[in-house]
Structure 1
Amino acid sequence: MNRLLPVAAWGYALALYGFIFLPVAVLVLFSFQDGRLPIPPFDGPSLKWYSQVWGDRKLMAALGNSLAVAMLSSGVAVALGFLAAWGLARGRLWGTRAMQGLITAPLTVSYLLIGLGLMISFNLSGIGPSLVTVGIGHAVINTPLCFAICFASMGDHQVNIERAARDLGAREWQVLGLVTAPMLMPAILAAFALSVTFSWDEFIIAFLLSRFDVTLPVEIWSLLRSGLNPKTNAAGSVVFLISVAVVLVAEIVVARRRA
């Protein structure tokens, strides 16, 4: 019986990873299809669909829009989340638990509801849909995540170090920027990487809050309206590979800082 446990564990792990990554593997595989339809039998490999993706001005513009929105909105979300976490963890405020719950509440709300609420709010304010509104929407959904990550990383040992810095004459902004932020840098980088990943491939809010300048997921959706083809698979593979690259870079940076 004991000999069967490792086999069962490995079998379960392989089945789990297969369930998660099989759709992605199929997507990437048929992005190299030489024919015009991403269906069996596989005919290839060929890079012509990737060359069409890189030669498509709309897709490249959408790619640049996605990168800009992801980076800027993630920077805003990390800054707001870190400051909120620091204030609630270090300050003595009435109703701290309730404030924590209110900040993290959007994590449980559907992106569709958040997107509709933002769209109505912007329309009432006279603000038209654009990449700016998309960035604001992504900052709204990512700030609670950044707050949760930073708040969970604030421990009692950091309080003693911050107190020592104040005793040595550091002002509050110096403690925040030169002591607290460097100590929490692994958590900050992790929050930034996750925010970039979520913003990079987010569709619902980007679709509701954009008009002419769109992000890459919205442009891929436009391609899907004309039917399946390997070019769509190639564009989706690019989105997946960039998301993986962001996470891997963040993991390497965090691991080096911890070492």
Structure 2
Amino acid sequence: MKALRPISWLYLATAFVFIFLPVVVLVVFSFQDGRLPVPPFKGGTLDWYAKVISDRDLIEAMFNSLVLAVMTSVIALALGFLAAHGLARVKLPGSAFLRLLLIAPMTVSYLIIALGLLQMFHQIGVRPSLVAAGIGHVVINLPLCFAICFAAMGDQQKSAERAARDLGAAEWQVLVQISAPMLAPALAAAFFLSVTFSWDEFIIAFLLTRFDVTLPVEIWSMLKSGISPATNAVGSLVFLISIAVVLLAEFFVLGRRR
């Protein structure tokens, strides 16, 4: 076993290099003092970050992505939690089929979901907008929130809920004061994962928005005119925000466990 330890460390190091090397290259060449983010590195500059921050359309798209990610994640979490609580606590005919139906969108391509929503919205007269994209993000994040919440519901929570009802608590009090606090780590994990997925999502946002676009769609528009260190700077900022969300989720979940 000791002879295999160096091989294990080598494999681990190779995996980390494979995962993070593209990110390192992206960040390094966002400081490129030149027109193209390609070797050789010509020296550091913050001009591209200044250009990104002063770009009104880009900042507006970033704000749209942030609002869309938070709002859709809240809605998906609320719906997923209520559905998981109902199916976990109440015996219904066809419960297994209902669970399968709720999780099914996780197995469908985002492109298929976006095309289906686009056709449906066209039939009912809903124009492409952030609201339409938000509905699409709820559709893809709801199964994730449901699966996480349903997996976290155990007999301990069930006993506490039964005791609260015996003491005269209303059903909404059981949900808000007993179920939700006991499932706080799972709820936080589902929420932050939904935020991350919505923040980076492109296909649904591209097909279901028109004038008020999200950040991935704005980055795609920038790439149509060619690559530059400015796109690297935008990618670095997106990566920084995604890492911040993940760290915040880890801090919240670990803090609740302690």
* TM-score clears 0.5: yes
What is the correspondence of 1:107-256 to structure 2 with a 5 Å cutoff?
A: 107-256=106-255
**One-letter amino acid of the structure 2 residue matched with residue 47 of structure 1:** L
Residues 1:74 and 2:86 aligned together: no
What's the CA shift for 1:21?
A: 1.5
Distance 2:128 2:142 in 1: 21
State the Cα RMSD in Å: 0.7
Superposition misfits of 4+ residues, deviation over 4 angstroms: none
Secondary structure at the aligned position of 2:31 is classed as: coil
1:255, CA displacement in angstroms?
Answer: 1.0
1:165 Cα deviation (Å)?
0.7
Percent identity of equivalent pairs:
64
- Deviations for 1:192-227, whole angstroms, at most 9, x for unmatched residues? 000000000100000000000100000000000000
Q: C-alpha offsets along residues 20-60 of structure 1, whole Å, 9 cap, x if unaligned?
A: 12111111111111111000001222111111100000100
Once residues 100 and 20 of structure 1 are traced to their aligned partners in structure 2, the CA distance between those partners, rounded to angstroms, is 34
Aligned to 1:8: 7
- In the other structure, the counterpart of 1:26 is 25
Aligned to 1:214, what secondary structure does the other structure show? coil
Q: Deviations over 1:76-99 (max 9, x none)?
A: 000010001000000110111111
Amino acid at match of 2:95: T
**CA–CA separation in structure 2 for the residues paired with 1:121 and 1:17:** 43
Residue 147 (structure 1) shift: 0.3
Equivalent residue number for residue 59 of structure 2 = 60
Deviation, 1:4, is: 2.3
Aligned residues: 258
5+ long unaligned stretches in structure 2: none
TM-score when normalising by structure 2: 0.99
Deviations 1:114-133 (A, max 9, x none): 00000111011100000111
- TM-score, structure 1 length as denominator? 0.98
